[in-house]
């Protein structure tokens, strides 16, 4: 088939949108991060100055930026393994030949994924309430004193992690379930005839098939969890004592509350570089350990 000019009418509109509203802004963000773009420049472009890397240098000297970075890394480092464990557990249960009403359970477990973060964060804010919340009520039943989940700097981030796991585990569960269902039953049959226990079957049949999928899922989940924003915005507003300020929350306040747009662009770029570096690291690790060829 010969190249056709008419093809451009098909891809042109979409490419224009992506070019104008994504590619150009990303490039502009890099340039803006090298300027002192603030509320004065917003009023009049002539107030704009190129300041080189000084936005980045200043950011790295601000305690709140490091705080936000630390909080975000905490959220990723604890939240991702917990989410993956929940997803894997649920997928294994759903895939068990003993499981009944599979479609019903699958839908129920997946339901939180399609809900609106803001709306369910409002529910969880109540569930986590110190005096009337269900979680403290349940803990009280087993003799644990009420915890001030969203008001205590030690517990606010764990509470947000619990919420995020609840909200997100269904997504990866479906992907892992698809992987599990692709394993032929005969493999298990053969392993059983060879006398393999259920644990050995999991270790030698299930895990090798699942590891590449788990790796991809882990990489995507890490990248997604670095973009924490709506949860602290609704549940804690970054508090208490800035214990739930995430990098994006910091960027939002810096940019759209204080209108330090140059600074905000630098924050966004640093976050991108961080996600990129972590993704590359995970991929290299996966290649080294032979998960991917």
Partner 1 sequence: MRARPAAFAVNAMLLGASAFAVFPLLWMLAASFMAPGEASTYPPPLVPAHATLANYRELFAQTGMGRYLANSVLLAVAATTLSLVFNVMAGYAFAKLRFTGRDRIFKLMLGALVIPGQVAMVPLFLLLKHMGLVNTYGGVIVPALASIFGIFLVRQYALSIPDDLLEAARIDGATEWRIFRSVVVPLLKPIIVTLAVFTLLGTWNDFMWPLIVLTDRNLYTLPVALASLAREHVQDNELMMAGSVLTTVPVLCVFLALQRYYLQGLMMGSVKG
Query: Site residues for partner 1, window 60-119 (CB under 8 A)?
Result: 89-90, 93-94, 96, 98-100, 105, 107-112, 114-119
Among 153, 272, 282, 291, binds partner 1 (CB under 8 A): 272
Among 34, 69, 120, 157, binds partner 1 (CB under 8 A): 120
Among 69, 76, 80, 127, binds partner 1 (CB under 8 A): 127
The gap from C-alpha 203 to its chain's centroid, in whole angstroms, comes to: 28
Among 276, 281, 284, 285, binds partner 1 (CB under 8 A): 276
Q: Which is nearer to partner 1, 131 or 288 (CB)?
A: 131
Per-residue contact track with partner 1, 210 to 229, x per CB under 8 A?
------xx--x--x--xx-x
Position 199 contacts partner 1 (CB under 8 A): no
Closest CB 185 distance from partner 1, rounded Å: 16
272: helix, strand or coil: helix
Determine if the peptide bond prior to 95 is cis (ω within 30°): no
Interface with partner 1 (CB under 8 A), residue total 92
166: helix, strand or coil: helix
Closest CB 63 distance from partner 1, rounded Å: 22
Applying CB under 8 A, the span of 58-66, 184-192, 199-207, 251-259 interacting with partner 1 comes to 251-259
Position 238 contacts partner 1 (CB under 8 A): no
Per-residue contact track with partner 1, 26 to 45, x per CB under 8 A?
x-xx--x---------x---
- Looking up tokens 């050995």, which residue turns up? 200
Q: How many CA atoms lie within 13 A of 276 on its CB side?
A: 6
Q: Which is nearer to partner 1, 69 or 261 (CB)?
A: 261
Please give the angle made by the CA atoms of 7, 13 and 19, to the nearest 5 degrees: 115
Rounded Cα distance between 149 and 244, Å, is 12
Position 17 contacts partner 1 (CB under 8 A): yes
Cβ(217)–Cβ(172) below 8 Å = yes
What b/e sequence results for 207-225 when a residue is b if at least 16 CB atoms lie within 10 Å of its CB, and e otherwise?
eeebeebbbbbbbebbbbb
Closest CB 149 distance from partner 1, rounded Å: 14
Position 1 contacts partner 1 (CB under 8 A): yes
User: Cα dist. 70→31, 80, 99, 186, 236 in Å?
Assistant: 26, 15, 41, 47, 17
């Amino acid at each position: 088939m010969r190249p056709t000019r008419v093809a451009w009418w098909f891809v042109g509109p979409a490419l224009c949108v992506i070019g104008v509203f994504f590619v150009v802004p990303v490039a502009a963000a890099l340039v803006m991060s090298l300027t002192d773009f603030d509320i004065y420049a917003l009023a009049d472009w002539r107030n704009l100055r190129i300041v080189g890397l000084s936005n980045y240098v200043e950011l790295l000297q601000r305690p709140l930026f490091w705080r936000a970075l630390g909080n975000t890394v905490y959220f990723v480092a604890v939240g991702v393994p917990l989410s993956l464990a929940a997803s894997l557990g649920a997928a294994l249960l759903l895939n068990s030949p003993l499981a009944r009403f599979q479609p019903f359970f699958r839908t129920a477990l997946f339901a939180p994924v399609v809900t609106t973060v803001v709306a369910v964060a409002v529910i969880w804010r109540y569930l986590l309430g110190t005096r009337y919340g269900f979680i403290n009520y349940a803990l009280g039943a087993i003799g644990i004193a009420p915890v001030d989940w969203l008001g205590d700097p030690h517990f606010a981030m764990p509470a947000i992690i619990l919420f995020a796991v609840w909200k997100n585990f269904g997504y990866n569960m479906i992907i892992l379930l698809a992987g599990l269902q692709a394993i032929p039953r005969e493999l298990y049959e053969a392993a059983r005839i060879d006398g393999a226990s259920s644990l050995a079957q999991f270790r030698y049949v299930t895990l090798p098939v699942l590891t590449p999928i788990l790796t991809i899922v882990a990489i995507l989940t890490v990248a997604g969890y670095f973009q924490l924003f709506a949860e602290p915005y609704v549940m804690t507003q970054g508090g208490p004592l800035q214990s739930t300020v995430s990098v994006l929350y910091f960027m939002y306040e810096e940019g759209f509350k204080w209108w330090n747009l140059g600074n905000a662009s630098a924050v966004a770029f640093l976050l991108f570089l961080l996600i990129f570096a972590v993704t590359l690291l995970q991929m290299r690790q996966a290649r080294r350990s032979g998960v991917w060829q």
